[in-house]
Chains A and B, each alone.
Chain A
């Protein structure tokens, strides 16, 4: 065999610099190592760290582009306030004065409307410490309404914790990679680089998605599926494998609880309607299942969207039943599920307020009793652009709220609704603990000091808690008034056996990685892996009595098209919307429409179009493309609702609806 020596990439900078900072990019959760070259407290160049075990020198566009936000002319660097939304903001004299005022306004809010009238929204850009600080603050304050998009992956994390992990560096050993509703090429390009490397090493790539994505364009086998049917595809694949006896019988016998009942549930599952439910034909299910059963090991990589459904565990069940788990390059890899267990508030022994429910799952705007009655809030503390993003349902209430506080760096839509604004330090301006989807923890030193009166999320909550008399619960404030983030994370990691052995000093000083689940000792050939549960077995997902997807392919009511919103490659969080160089690379106002649908409605590329859902509307420019199915509309902007009506601007809803109904085959 020819020995291949890969190219040696020659990195370095031509710029003059005073110092280099080796840190970790925090634009997403891959955890890529980067080197920043700094001169006169400004970043003059950036590069990936060639010696970094996760990223090996690679960076994605977000990892290079973030510098544009740091010295941005519109950046918020001092707190500001106003009494009514009709007036402009006045700058606070200091961070401390603004916190005094906020504490006073919060006290009044609590007296008038009670503790639970406050809701807190945390976006990933504000950092893990903003979220953890918020949980701790909310516990003391007495509101259960704290929300972070990471909570969507809690189910995935819990299920994945019981499995031996095969990190992305081992995908190269894989013989087949199955991506379901995961467009890694856009969301995590550096991780997708590893997928391509595995493919170059002979692995086959299967991509199932409801949109023809960048990742799908690289697939050896592209499987277009019905929106929202990803987990159902997993159920059908597993049924096919079991029907043909292609499962790994020893792995099931050794690793599954009540394997007989589980297997019987798949015997009862029927094939009727498979194509209607998933848009995948019976024959294609057969072909895919035979294909994946002929490859060993296979890694199944699933996207965050799938985690909303109770059948999500099917991918773990599939990987375990096929015996892929416990082999390098095999198993289940749920995206964004690498955060270890954290207990930011369980040490607080003060009796909670009556009827206090510590967590409110899955969404804060859902009534705790599970009914659809909407909860009403009077106060909101939100980071990033939450009201225009994951807090869209809360936005409907925001005009009536008494107090909205924006913790962020840019005057975005949430800021426009706010009464008080607190300047947030960017991730490059704060030391912090990073967690990666490979289940590794890393210490990321800051590159620059915080801009003016910008503070970290922990600093914000600790300062506020101090003013409400809860100093003892937030002891991580240094003499200079800033948060001691190192001590906070050290305290946090000691609170769970999973992370207690992590030496944070070593992580910081040696730039080490700490894998919080031990990488498995791979079993010898013929042996089955041990799961990290009390009896060494996992509970498999049973086949449902009947598939839960709707029967009708298109809702024939007023909203006949599916709507999907996903991230674009050059922008991560809200800050990305303010980066001047990258603004031109992708159009955030684009609305993707299939050529047939556009033809029916008389829409041409670039036309102004409107997307209506029962709960809102979105305006943008038509991007006619076969990336979407003719029954689907896509945009990078968020809109509440899965079913929509599309119209050309100026067209009436009735006209558009009639055209769509008359011309849909």
Chain B
């Protein structure tokens, strides 16, 4: 196991307002044309429930799996997993065969029609290597996306939840 610092992208879908800032940020960062959407906001509902209608947004992107099926399936070695966990496709090696897209149980890899190569979340590896936040998380206005070590993001979530409960009780 490498000592390289492992970071996680925390997606707190309950905070997502469906604004698609993350999608646009990703397109801008990776100069993607219409078509591939490495991060995607999916609207679910409104569904009829016992308490009226309910609707939420789910932000979905690559899970950067530990044993990534796309990496195992790639015939050219373009799809790789870095020591810090990021799964990315090297455009120099990618031949656009889309075997990874078939192998991925979540349908994440997509073809970039402009280059004929795979477009997939690369964890903003170039930004992360410079110590910057991934573009989607940086441009999320709702606070749904955050970035840091797993310990840090989980602690942050727990602390905020606890504070919300305390404040709600305090102002009741």
A binding-site residues for B, Cβ under 8 Å? 1-2, 4, 7, 9-14, 45-48, 57-61, 64-65, 67, 175, 185-186, 189-190, 192-193, 196-197, 200-202, 212, 214-218, 222, 295, 569-570, 580-586, 625-627
A626 to B170, CA, bound (A): 36
* A570–B20 touching, CB < 8 Å: yes
Determine if B24 is an interface residue (Cβ-Cβ < 8 Å). Answer: yes
Q: Does B133 contact A (CB under 8 A)?
A: yes
Bound-complex Cα distance A461 to B110 (A):
49
- Could you tell me if B45 and A626 are in contact, using CB atoms closer than 8 angstroms? yes
Provide the B46-66 mask, 1 if CB < 8 A to any CB of A, else 0: 111000111111000000000
Considering the complex of A and B, which 9 residue pairs feature the smallest CB-CB distances, nearest first?
A202-B167, A217-B55, A58-B141, A185-B17, A189-B19, A61-B24, A581-B27, A626-B46, A193-B141
Interface 0/1 of B72-113, CB less than 8 Å to A:
000000000000000000000000000000000000000000
A427 to chain B, nearest CB (A): 17
Contact present for B17 and A218 (CB under 8 Å): yes
State how many angstroms separate the Cβ of A157 from the closest Cβ of chain B: 26
User: Are B21 and A9 in touch, CB under 8 angstroms?
Assistant: no
Cβ-defined contact, B171 with A10, below 8 A: no
Alpha-carbon separation in the docked complex, A175 to B168 (Å): 9
Would you call B24 and A581 a contact (CB within 8 A)? yes
Verify A217–B19 contact, CB threshold 8 A.
no
5 contacts between A and B (CB under 8 A): A64-B139, A190-B141, A214-B17, A217-B57, A295-B171
- Out of A4, A175, A193, name the residue touching B143 (CB < 8 Å): A193
Query: Which B1-50 residues have a C-beta within 8 angstroms of A?
Result: 15, 17-21, 23-25, 27-29, 32-35, 37, 45-48
Q: Which of chain B's residues have a CB closer than 8 A to the CB of A216?
A: 55
Interface band, chain B? 35 or more
**Contact between B138 and A61 (Cβ–Cβ < 8 Å)?**
no
| Minimal beta-carbon separation of B84 from chain A (angstroms) | 16
Interface centre among B20, B131, B137, by most chain A C-beta atoms within 10 angstroms, is B20
Given contacts A7-B152, A626-B47, 18 further A-B contacts (CB under 8 A): A4-B159, A10-B132, A14-B126, A14-B132, A58-B139, A58-B141, A61-B24, A65-B28, A189-B17, A192-B141, A202-B170, A202-B171, A214-B57, A215-B17, A581-B28, A585-B23, A585-B24, A586-B20
- Residues of chain B contacted by A569 (CB below 8 angstroms): 18-20
The CA of A46 and the CA of B148, in the complex, are separated in Å by 22
Assess the B21–A4 pair: CB atoms within 8 A. no
Where chain A touches its partner, the secondary structure class is loop
- Give chain B's interface secondary structure class: mixed
Distance in Å: Cβ of B127 to nearest Cβ of chain A? 5
| A580 CA / B29 CA spacing, docked (Å) | 15
Measured CA separation A508–B28 after assembly (Å): 28
> Is B154 engaged at the interface, CB distance under 8 Å to the other chain?
no
A185–B120 Cα gap in the complex (Å)?
A: 27
Which B110-156 residues sit within 8 Å CB-CB of chain A?
126-127, 130-133, 137-139, 141-143, 146, 148, 152, 156
Task: Looking at the assembled complex, report how far the CB atom of A194 sits from the nearest CB atom of chain B, in whole angstroms.
Answer: 9
Cα A193 to Cα B21 in complex, Å, equals 12
Q: A10-B133, A45-B28 are in contact. Are A192 and B48 (CB under 8 A)?
A: no
- CB nearest to B56 among chain A residues: A217
| Complex CA–CA separation, A580 to B166 (angstroms) | 46
| Given A217-B45, A222-B53, A584-B34, also A64-B19 (CB < 8 A) | no
Alpha-carbon distance between A338 and B137 when the two chains are bound, in angstroms? 30
Asked whether, in the complex, the Cβ of B21 is within 8 Å of the Cβ of A189, the reply is: yes
Chain A residues whose C-beta falls within 8 Å of the C-beta of B33 in the assembled complex? 580-581
In-complex Cβ contact of B21 among A7, A59, A201, A627 (8 A): A59
Instruction: Say which residue of B46, B146, B156, B166 sits within 8 Å of A1 (CB atoms).
Output: B166
Most buried by B among A13, A14, A201, A215: A14
A11-B133, A626-B45 are known contacts. Are A185 and B19 too (CB-CB below 8 A)? Answer: yes
| B34 CB, nearest partner CB in chain A, Å | 5
Residues on B with beta carbons closer than 8 Å to the beta carbon of A67 = 28
Give the docked Cα–Cα distance between A627 and B55 (Å). Answer: 9
Q: Are B28 and A7 in contact (CB under 8 A)?
A: no
Given A217-B46, A626-B45: A47 and B167 within 8 A (CB)? Answer: no
Q: Which residues of A contact B17 (CB under 8 A)?
A: 185, 189, 192-193, 196, 214-215, 218
Give chain A nearest CB distance to B163 CB in angstroms.
6
Contacts of B163 in A (CB 8 A): 2, 4, 200
Min distance, Cβ A48 to any Cβ of chain B, angstroms: 7
Beta-carbon contact of A64 and B25 below 8 Å: yes
Cross-chain contact A583 with B160 (CB below 8 angstroms): no
Chain B residues, CB < 8 A from A627: 46, 55
Instruction: Judge whether A185 and B24 touch: CB under 8 Å.
Output: no
B141 A222 Cβ-Cβ under 8 A: no
